[in-house]
Chain A
Amino acid sequence: MNLKISALEYVQEVQSGNISVEDYVSKTIERISKVDEKIHAFLSVSENVLDQARMIDKKVRSGEKVGACYGMPISIKDNICIKDGKTTCASKMLENFVAPYDATVIQKLKQQDAVFVGKANLDEFAMGLTTEFSAYGASGNPWNTDYVPGGSSGGSAASVSAFECVASLGSDTGGSVRNPASFCSVVGYKPTYGLISRFGLISYANSIEQIGPLTRTVKDSAFMLNIISGLDTNDNTTIDGNEQDFLSGIEYGIEGKKIGIIKEMVGEGTAPEVLAATNDAVSKLEGLGATCEEVSLDMVKYSVAAYYTITATEAGSNLARYDNLRYGYEFPVEGYEFNSYIAKARRRFGPEVTRRMIIGGFVPSAGQAGKYFLKALKVKSKLTREVGEVFERFDLLVAPTVPVLPFKKGEKIDDPIALFQVDLNTVTANLTGRPAVSVPFAISNGLPIGMQLIADSNHDKMLLQAAYALEQTVNLPEVPI
């Protein structure tokens, strides 16, 4: 049994009867029990999915209509709600939270006969980019388990990379899908804001975050998008994508496309290996018939500061509901007055969440808002305008997903400012609502480098075509685990 096949290959194999869903899923569970000790990609594994797998097999055999996923085992970042199961956000605060509903993306995947093998690890409430801030222990990078897998969707990326599932869903607030995709050498896709419903995604910074797929191939991401995107009455911010088919015409190519190389994202702070990979990517894109040219986005130098100011503000508000009165963990209220109770109950938040909520209470407060929050909003709107202007001249933008190579666990955890700079290349897409993708591009000394492409809003289809074209130019070694 080859667990290493792509989602599209998996579907073909099941359709043609070469493999059974039960077989594949049980082998996947076996694989998880074998390798996850080292990787810790999962916070929980679903033990009872084999019945579901057998039922899908039965449908396949009897010729009944089967959903597009054909029982494909998928992992879900543990900040996306699956009905009747725990959704912890990798936080002690939500240790016992059981959602009474499915996220819209989960509903859609269920309709297409996906099998959820487990909930993937993340930085607590998706705040972080190494998965070290999980309250249930860090994840490891399948390429070298001493290294971080990136984050915050580190468990998702690692599980796809280590063949513990075929595909995964993560969420991307400032790079949380693309960053771990880059570190783990998988494809990570952040769509145009509003393309995928956020209903059931536990909010961190709701005005800029999106759910996104992490997959082995670009085509697999397009396949996932076809299933999970679309207007949703449960999320007023979703946009009408006219039920686009992201897979059809994905091999269209990028001939004649104008691509801007973002100057501010390839500079002093960029590791030499990453710089070399970027140059290589540019020449490969040109080889495919595109023209590449350097372009400057002045506001990028303020983007990380703006990003942390805005996300902290929204997080401070979004996480205010966790007062442990209506759900959460065991902690009796008797003998407490409201304020003293919640002050105590909220001590369960981990250090990074606490840090960001303290910032979030400060930067938008009266007397400070002008200096911080409102200024950050100005940067956001100026950056959005700048990016809009650039897309009048260019079809796509390119930059390395992360300016540095994956680093060791513990290396940067005590240096928040150093960690923040790792976000430099990813936050622009979030702040401006643009779609962006990280494509596995190189392996340097056994560590992956991902290349990022960004398109204008609602040009997700063209972005996937470009990502596919770039993906075809590389031939990467297999993950060692």
Chain B
Amino acid sequence: MTMIGLEIHCQLTNLNSKLFCSCKANYREFEINQNICPVCMGLPGSLPRLNQEAVKKAMTIAMALNCSTPEKIAFFRKNYFYPDSPKNFQITQLNIYGDTSVGGAGSIMVGDKKIRITRIQLEEDPGRLIYEGSSSKNQITLVDYNRAGTPLVEIVTEPDFETPKEVRDFLNILSDILSNLGVADPSLEGAMRADANVSIQGGKKVEIKNIGSFHDLEKAAHFEITRQESLHSRDIEIVQETRHWDDQRKITVSSRSKEEDLDYRYFLEGDIPWVSIDAQTHENLRSEMPESISSKKERYVSKYGIPIQVADVLSSDKFYSDLFEKAHTDSNAKEVANIITTELMGLMDTREKRESSKITSTHLRELADAIQTGKVSRNSSKNALHEILKTGKNLSSVITELELGNVSDESELLEIVKQVISEESQAVEQAKSNPQTINFLVGKVMQKTKGKADPALTLDLLKKQTGIS
């Protein structure tokens, strides 16, 4: 049986500062080695200052993944020499001397399958190595410490996955949960990384390190299973080893380093006292947690009558569900949900498009209202949406400028109706015996108004003018 376990590293990208100093957690906007200070550079004499907000956010993740949360948390040192680590040890958490990491055992459902979480720990991200030079002989290694000290949450699962698809489904759910909690933006480059342990029936466990994106994680698992199965079929032993994910070639490569043999000599980090998380704090954290995805979904269905598939899509994406929450009223909720899921999601399917879009919740509310009151046809609303995304202009000026408004002025419409009646005398006659034919006349009016005639008013006028009831 194939068994896959994951170690997922998720940066708490929504925090202001790093885990132990006031440098920015969002290091991405900085020039190389500009987001550093004596603390995250581990200068002699500097001491870590624990970011309490990071502890809270990490505990919230533990709670959302149904993990046990301890009364006291502690930090440990993981000792190893590596150039991306300014202190040559990493401050992390450990549960071998009792459960003292932010989260203990937990689980989440992926479809009908329960995936068990082993533990969740809060730790610091190391810096980033940049390799330059053409051959391995004259290769130079540069270090960018901007990332060093970024708050990182490690989520360790039991080996409960049997297929790469299950891994992908889990990751999708996990990343929805994390963004819904408002703790991280999983779409940011490098914000989510993972190691995977893969083994097949009759083989040893192989650890794949350094997988830089969720997308690649599924691929890596797939590659590794295939590789192991192929070895197995040829009666070649599958040895326990650590492999690295080669980002370029999309394959796993055996790492010649002796990482497996490293002895991290864990011990308590004396510079950070134990943090007590009393019952009150637990309660506060729980009550401050944002509504869960499943609860949102249920509410959308039961309160607004939104179809279950639409509610599912809407609730699992924090960006759109936030937009929905701000835009909808009791009367237009269904329409808002409809615009978001059928139109907006297609128009803003990349991060760049989301970020450059000028749409606000007000736009969305007004547009839904306009559709419901017949001011704009559903057809023209698409054009309006395009324009709003691009320009951010308010709905009424978009309608005026693009002439998207329905013709609902009675005298104006009456002239057109009269014109149609005179042009289509044959159809008018037919309509007297066959009331269905009146729809043909409505269609003609629509043609003349380029679809902007108020359909209800048109029908009303046609009936009056032809005497058909």
Q: Mark A residues whose CB is within 8 Å of B.
A: 80-81, 87, 89, 94, 97, 99-101, 103, 198-203, 206-208, 233-237, 313-314, 316-317, 320-323, 325-327, 338-339, 342, 361, 364-366, 369, 373
Contact = CB atoms under 8 A, between A and B. Distances in A.
A206 B88 contact: no
B86 A326 contact: yes
B250 to A, nearest CB: 27
Most buried by A among B48, B79, B266, B270: B270
A351 B441 CA distance: 102
A198 B38 contact: no
A313 B45 contact: no
A43 to B, nearest CB: 15
Interface string B83-99: 10011110000000000
Contacts of A200: 45
A97 B49 contact: no
Contacts of A327: 43-44
B38 to A, nearest CB: 6
Contact of A317 (B46, B77, B141, B273): B77
A387 B449 CA distance: 94
Contacts of B263: 365-366
A321 B48 CA distance: 14
Nearest to A367: B263
Contacts of A198: 47
B70 interface: no
Contact of B87 (A202, A320, A342): A320
A404 B141 CA distance: 53
A101 B45 contact: yes
B42 interface: yes
B270 A97 contact: no
A216 B21 CA distance: 38
Contacts of B45: 80-81, 87, 99, 101, 103, 199-203
Contacts of B79: 316-317, 320
15 contacts: A206-B270, A207-B268, A207-B270, A234-B47, A236-B49, A236-B273, A237-B273, A313-B267, A317-B79, A317-B89, A320-B88, A320-B89, A321-B88, A326-B41, A369-B265
A97 to B, nearest CB: 6
A236 B48 contact: yes
B319 interface: no
B44 A81 contact: yes
B273 to A, nearest CB: 6
Contact of B83 (A199, A322, A338): A338
A208 B271 CA distance: 10
Given A317-B267, A320-B79, A321-B88, A99 B49 contact: no
Contacts of A99: 38, 43-45
A364 B42 contact: no
A327 B83 CA distance: 13
Interface in B1-45: 38, 41-45
B44 A235 contact: no
Contacts, number: 99
Most buried by A among B47, B79, B88, B273: B47
Interface residues of B, number: 31
Contacts of A236: 47-50, 271-273
Interface string B266-309: 11101111000000000000000000000000000000000000
Nearest to A237: B273
A338 B272 CA distance: 29
A323 B81 contact: yes
Nearest to B88: A320
A327 B86 CA distance: 11
Contact of A321 (B42, B50, B143): B42
Contacts of A325: 83, 143
A279 B273 CA distance: 40
Contacts of B48: 236
Contacts of B38: 99-101
A203 B50 CA distance: 18
A94 B43 CA distance: 11
6 pairs of A and B residues whose beta carbons are closest in the complex: A207-B270, A320-B88, A202-B44, A81-B45, A200-B45, A364-B265
Nearest to A193: B270
Nearest to B266: A364
A338 B141 contact: yes
Contacts of A366: 263, 265
Interface string B52-90: 000000000000000000000000010101110011110
Contacts of A369: 265
A365 B83 contact: no
B265 A361 contact: yes
A170 B434 CA distance: 106
A207 B74 CA distance: 14
A481 to B, nearest CB: 32
Nearest to B262: A366
B122 to A, nearest CB: 15
Contacts of B47: 198-199, 234-236
B49 to A, nearest CB: 6
Nearest to B83: A338
A326 B127 CA distance: 13
A98 to B, nearest CB: 10
Contacts of B41: 326
Most buried by A among B44, B82, B88, B267: B44
A208 B270 CA distance: 8
Given A101-B46, A237-B271, A325-B143, 15 more contacts: A198-B47, A199-B46, A202-B44, A207-B270, A233-B49, A235-B271, A317-B79, A321-B42, A322-B44, A323-B83, A338-B81, A339-B81, A342-B81, A361-B265, A366-B265
